[in-house]
Structure 1
Amino acid sequence: MISARNAETRAIVTGGAQGIGFAVAEALVDEGCRALALVGRDEAKGARAAAALRAKGADVVFIGADISEVAQCQRVVAMAVEALGGVNALVNAAATSARGALTETDEALFDHVFATNVRGPFFLMQGVVRHLLEREAPGSIVNVLSVNIHCGQPFLAAYSASKGALATLTKNTANAYRTNRIRCNAVLPGWMDTEGEDMVQKKWHGASDGWLEKVEAKQPMGKLVKPRELAGLVTYMLSPESGVMTGALVDYDQNVPGIIGE
């Protein structure tokens, strides 16, 4: 039996052409959502993703944009509202995990990471919240963060800091607009099995084909986080079924922060 818990959801999903974003978009459609705007930079991937979801019966548009630029964030919200007849949900899944330790990160890398991971989500949230306030309508936002907000690996200094900033923004937004029935929550996934992670491992860590199987064999539960599994939590947070839940930062990992040793 297919759930209809997101039948009234009209969503913008950034990073929607692949990985977490596409998994969330597909799960939304499977749960009854019939109006979606996917956002990304790769037009070809976006067209394929949109076509796949249209084949499931959804009204889907792909909006090509670089969310690190404020004007493009504003354009995304305006185009989504026009194309879908209004929106009531936003998933900020797009991000960069560019590597750099504190002593290795230059100004350009720092600015790129924060522009993509903080400034973009900030102005997308701003646009969606303004739209909801104008309509006096409820809505739901879910930000995809990372367990790295708890500390982060040394080579993820700027990335960890950016996700920590977005965590604070999540709680601030939840507090500011709760009486308007606009909810804002976040998921904090651990190490994930995505197309992007495969590229990262090969580009930054010299991994070869077969790295995933070797890594997963060493994990407590024998696998990395799968996008489809995480997507179910995101779609629950978006849906009316999550009730009054707002301001929550939910770890989604097999390793528990704070444990020292085994």
Structure 2
Amino acid sequence: MRLQGKVALVTGSGQGIGRAIAVRLAEEGARVVVEDRSDNAAAEETLAQVRQAGSDGCVIAGDIGDVPADARVIEQAVVAMGRLDVLVNNAGIEKRADFLAVTEADFDAVLGVNLRGTFFATQAFARHVQERGGDGAVVNISSVHEELPFPHFASYSASKGAVKMLMRNLAIELAPLGIRVNNIAPGAVQTPINAALLSNRKELDALLGNIPLRRLGRPEDVANAALFLASDEAAYVTGTTLFVDGGLLWNYREQ
């Protein structure tokens, strides 16, 4: 049980990759705080699966794009669970638009959740770790698009590129507190955010042609990577991005 006695908070864990991470950490002994925008049926289902995995936890609601909510989520999690040891910044959104058509509102929404939320949730987590004496792990769910251009998703790419540099900076700045900070960069994964792609056979086949392993990722593939980075098995790993993309990044060709 690699996370026995640990408490983990996974943002945006009502579905998809976030749910898979929450359940995988629970399978290895962590008690899990399931975070979503609201205490909805999806979040409660994730908590039910955490309990089926043999652990326990709670649901805490909050808009990760809102700075006061970030601090409140961390505070409520500590009150409910007694402490936090692992923060998984998974919550994220994307909005497709040609660059010339991107609105300020859409830009603010994407950067608000993907970057501002990651920044300030981590800040609140680090303050808690400092208060309780140090040692913790932060895992950011980034994207291959922290490196790879993504035409028509300029805001999303900008947010993930910024999260890459934020991770590198915080790995240095938070090391004295014993906090390790790493990214996971998934490629194409079978999640609700990719529903349109999965229903378009032509686009899907073109994408699969760019993936050396010739399949889409599964949420569990990312969850296994998150488990490693959250655990003591990664005690000497900080400031790096682990790509979980089937080889997509180095084989990609724009169609």
Note if contact 1:18-1:45 (Cα within 8 Å) is conserved in structure 2: yes
Cα distance change on mapping 1:197 and 1:244 into 2, 3 Å = same
Q: Which amino acid aligns with 1:253?
A: D
RMSD between superposed Cα atoms in Å: 2.0
Q: TM-score, normalised by structure 2?
A: 0.91
> Which residue in 1 is equivalent to 2:236?
244
Note if contact 2:197-2:203 (Cα within 8 Å) is conserved in structure 1: no
Does structure 1 residue 173 correspond to structure 2 residue 170? yes
Q: Which amino acid aligns with 2:244?
A: Y
SS in 2 for 1:103: helix
Unpaired segments ≥5 residues, structure 1: none
Runs of 4+ in 1 over 4 A off after TM superposition: 210-217, 258-261
> Which residue in 2 is equivalent to 1:158?
155
Cα distance change on mapping 1:151 and 1:102 into 2, 3 Å = farther
Does structure 1 residue 21 correspond to structure 2 residue 13? no
> Which residue in 1 is equivalent to 2:126?
129
Which of 35, 40, 53 is the equivalent residue of 1:39? 35
> Which residue in 1 is equivalent to 2:186?
189
> Which residue in 1 is equivalent to 2:50?
53
Note if contact 1:101-1:158 (Cα within 8 Å) is conserved in structure 2: no
Unpaired segments ≥5 residues, structure 2: none
How far apart are 1:256 and its partner, in Å? 5.0
Note if contact 1:170-1:247 (Cα within 8 Å) is conserved in structure 2: yes
Share of identical aligned residues, percent?
Answer: 33
State how far apart, in whole Å, the 1-side matches of 2:60 and 2:202 are. 33
State how far apart, in whole Å, the 1-side matches of 2:44 and 2:250 are. 43
Q: TM-score, normalised by structure 1?
A: 0.89
Cα distance change on mapping 1:217 and 1:68 into 2, 3 Å = closer
State how far apart, in whole Å, the 1-side matches of 2:160 and 2:212 are. 25
Spell out the pairing of 1:247-262 with structure 2 (5 A cutoff): 247-257=239-249
Note if contact 1:9-1:239 (Cα within 8 Å) is conserved in structure 2: no
